[in-house]
Homo-oligomer: A and B are copies of this chain.
Amino acid sequence: MSLREEILEVSKELLIKEGFSKLSMRRIAERADVSATSIYLYFKNKDDLLLALIEESIENLKASLMEVVDASKGFLMQLEDMARAYIEYALNHPQEYEIIYMVRPEEMPKYPKEKFMNIRSGYELLADIIREGHDQEQIDVEDALINAYTLWAQLHGVVSVILNKRLDTRIPQQQFIEQALENIIRGFVMQKTQA
């Protein structure tokens, strides 16, 4: 394993075990048994390293979503499956999920915004399913891509509130998730009474 890979591996371990706030260059270096400056031989700076971690997390998230795609199911079912898969991934891999949204593009202008758009194919995947629903006149949407983004945003909001521990203690997490899923999905279903 190259040192670059070693650094990435160790960084990921550290991220998962100790969280984003403990992820410092010197700690990574220590764990990898090299000097901190060696990291700069393989990454321009910390943001560059984080970006590599982010991309990996995005790949994992996308893979999780891909797994539940099953064209034989109805699209409503697929929509719900994907929504559940999204939430599940986020809650099961909190650090890996959060790092995706933690690092802010505006704070690292060196990188093209495109880098952060790697997740794009994930949206396309969602857009495809939404389009399918529209074709079968069971989902009431105009622009599938925009709706994919709104769906994604709503899901992100749900997991974000949970991960940031902003949920009222009076509210059971699972019930919150179920209610949110219900409301979100219903927001996409065609209202035939209006048509």
Contact = CB atoms under 8 A, between A and B. Distances in A.
Interface of A: 21, 101, 104-107, 113, 116-117, 119-120, 123, 142-143, 145-147, 149-158, 160-161, 164-171, 175-176, 179-180, 182-189, 191-193
B154 A184 contact: yes
A26 to B, nearest CB: 20
A91 to B, nearest CB: 14
A149 B161 contact: yes
Instruction: Please tell me how many copies of the chain the complex holds.
Output: 2
Closest 8 interchain pairs by CB?
A: A157-B157, A187-B187, A183-B187, A150-B180, A153-B157, A153-B161, A154-B154, A156-B157
Contacts of A168: 117, 120, 123, 145, 149
B157 A145 contact: no
B150 A156 contact: no
Contacts of A157: 153-158, 160
14 contacts: A101-B164, A105-B164, A106-B165, A113-B169, A120-B168, A123-B168, A149-B171, A152-B161, A156-B160, A157-B160, A183-B184, A184-B187, A186-B187, A189-B191
